Structure 1
Amino acid sequence: MFHSAKRPTRNTFRRLTLAAAIVAAMSASGVMAQSGSYADVNRLLKAGQLNEALAKADEHLAGKPSDPQMRFLRGVIQTEAGKTSDAIATFLKLTEDYPELPEPYNNLAVLYAGQSQFDKARAALEMAIRTNPSYATAHENLGDVYAKLASQAYSKALQIDANNSGVGPKLSLIRGLFAGNAAAVQGTQVAAAPAAPAAAPAPAAASPAPATETATTEPGAADAETNINSAVLAWAKAWSTKDMKGYLSAYAPNFTPQGGMSRQAWEKQRHSRIVPRQSIEVDVTNLSVDVRGNRATASFDQAYKSDHLSVDSRKTLEMVKSGNRWLIVSEQSGS
């Protein structure tokens, strides 16, 4: 899977593989490195002194604005600092000025994947591979992007037809690829600043897995995840079709509405907000599940659209197993 950056977003994969140093490419293209500046920037980067590292990179680039290696390092620093828009702009400009380098394309794909822009990530990785067909990192990342796109397609199929028994196992299999073993998580590889252009980069420290990844180790957890996935998609479908019986039955008897509202008042409010709408569409994507015995947490991106409103939000459902069903006991919108 993708290797995690230090500041992973909720939609990133368990691992995000950022490209290593482009020193070899610089040497091959005749661009000579001055080791002092690169060593200073790398030292500050590894120490987590990101503001200082960025200032040092900017100082270098003030005198050598076209230096591709330092620009690449600057993009890595921006990525580590969580400045995603700035990093995207940096790597995009590098691909325009140095289209023969595959690493900027790869790092663009990592950033796009972190924003769930998987089509853009796929296109960037295909450019990286076209530039260097032997670029193993890009091939691995492209496989992960295809797997994520497959996961979204299977989720959509279940949302349309929650009774399709053939889709659930496929979805569980795909998600199993991203659950993985936390011990295998690797850190972001940042560009090194060697004494000579051909020196190898040094990897950064390992980073923890994002909290939104599924972590299920109990027996039967995979089956529970499939059942919870089906329950969430059935809930969304009932909401979309204004099936109030099916929608309300997705909530447990002890469901606690937000704001201290009574269950009776909440049901009346939901009825008044759902039934009069001419059309409703509730789309669930990037669903992750954490199972803890008979309780679970389901988190996902929710896209709601009706004749009067269109809202994208992050939704978290706390669920409990009741007989053979998983029911909602609380829900929360927001990050």
Structure 2
Amino acid sequence: MHGSNEGVGTRVEKLLKDGRYGEAEKEIRQAQAADGDSAQLKFSACVLLAQQSAAKKAIACFQQLSQAHPEMPEIYNNIGVLYAGIGVQLEARKWFERGLKQQQAYAVLHQNLLNLQAEINRNAYAAALQLDISKSNAPPKLSLLGKLTSLPEATSPLLSSSGAALPGKATALVAPVVGPEVAKGQLAGKLTQTSPVMSASVQAAESPDKTTDLNDPSQVRETVQAWANAWSKKDLNAYLKAYSPSFNPGVNLSRSAWEAQRRDRIMSKKQIQIELSDFNISFSKVNAKATATATFLQSYQSGTIVTVGRKTLELSEDKGQWLITREMVIGAGS
């Protein structure tokens, strides 16, 4: 062993980045000879196996480490990434979900879980539509964590807390998902609401007065439910009328192209069932115009395809009725 505590971590990090795995292994073994109980060193050894494309050995290594250190979310993340890499998606999802229950690294775990769910949904669509996606689309890109941030600072006297960073070949990118809404918003951070002036429970009883009460959540919920019912019934006219003339579909589509796309996707289904629950409705003013934001849990089923995800609709009052101006999906949707 040579050099300072920080030097060991720096050398291992650089060797892994440069693909000099033999030298990295030597450094790790030398450090472990003096401190065999170091969780950071054991973690780096598992990372080394993963970088050498020894996925099954790396999984076994990380699983053994998880038994000794169940509080480390980085371990769960890396096991999930490795399982996804060998095509065992449901097992990968299980490990991501377990990792989310731990104390840190939530951002990467959450993004990986969303990316994996997107891939599962994409495969389900492909199977239902009898599409061959094996050649045209890459697998989901998931991020392997190379550093332990959940260790106490004094855990290892021989390796710096920075750990061994992995090469930047796997970055957290959102995998493609069928459905125009998904591209509009993947994370909860994109769904923040502007200048809320009121938040009300959607459990309020319906008012017998059907004139638009701009602070009545039941009317917003009624509008959203009517939109979902039109979708379920494949009543395309009612479905499209729920959207404001100012609605921007995004995803590089014109309004007419978006309507044509929705027409094809809705009318091509034999049956559609939409169920909404867990509403949260708030109100605000945008440019002196009354707006409402409705967030809810959406369950979509068509044949063998079943997806569940959070959705947000932004609505604007227009001539006495609420119309959708923006639509965003978190996670699964169609």
* TM-score bracket for the superposition, by shorter chain length: 0.3 to 0.5
Structure number having the greater helix percentage: 1
In our comparison, the structure showing a higher alpha carbon Rg is 2
TM-score (norm 2): 0.41
TM-score (norm 1): 0.41
